[in-house]
């Protein structure tokens, strides 16, 4: 497990770094990606630090379920009526850049996407 002391997402959760929030409750936080690849591009994270999906076990089952159930609700609220994509980059070969579990949610007209999904 990597150190969470310098985790940018932990700092966002703590309010030390600002974010453009879409949703927040006791366990989850959703905010817009600062480098969007689609007209709608936000991240949904657990507030409790876990490095990646590969580091999840039975103890993370409830929060993983909450994340996956919250995604379609937030996507609809963001205007993704015609579908959306979810991406979880895991580990260096999976393209993970921030080692705090997060789900990318991308949507909007495909011809307006800036690059292939992460």
Q: What is the DSSP string of 56-89?
A: --GGGHHHHHHHHHHHHHHHHHTT-TT-EEEE--
SS3 24: strand
Annotated catalytic residue, options 41, 49, 100, 102: 102
pLDDT at 94: 96
The more confidently predicted of residues 111 and 76 is 76
Region 20-32 average pLDDT? 97
Q: Are 98 and 60 in contact (CB under 8 A)?
A: no
CA distance 35 to 25: 24
What CATH code would you report for 8-112? 3.30.428.10
Region 1-8 average pLDDT? 73
**pLDDT-based confidence at residue 118 (cuts at 50, 70, 90):** low
Q: Which has the closest alpha carbon to 70: 37, 46, 97, 34?
A: 46
Region 7-18 average pLDDT? 96
Task: Please say if the pLDDT value at position 115 is more than 90.
Answer: no
pLDDT at 2: 52
State the pTM of this model. 0.91
102 is catalytic: yes
Q: What is the pLDDT of residues 97-112, one digit of tens each?
A: 999 999 999 999 988 8
Helix (H) or strand (E) holding 32: strand 28-32
Q: What token pair was written down for 75?
A: 């996507």
pLDDT at 117: 52
Give the start-to-end residue ranges of the domains of the chain. 8-112
């Amino acid at each position: 497990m990597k150190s969470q002391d310098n985790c940018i997402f932990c700092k966002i959760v703590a309010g030390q770094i600002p974010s453009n929030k879409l949703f927040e409750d006791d366990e989850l936080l959703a905010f817009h990606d600062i480098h969007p690849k689609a007209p709608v591009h936000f991240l949904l994270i657990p507030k409790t630090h876990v490095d990646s999906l590969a580091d999840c076990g039975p103890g993370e089952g409830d929060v993983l379920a909450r994340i996956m159930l919250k995604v379609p609700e937030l996507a609809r609220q963001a205007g993704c009526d015609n579908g959306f994509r979810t991406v979880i980059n895991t580990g260096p070969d999976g393209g993970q850049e921030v080692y705090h579990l997060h789900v990318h949610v991308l949507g909007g007209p495909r011809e307006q996407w800036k690059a292939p999904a992460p």
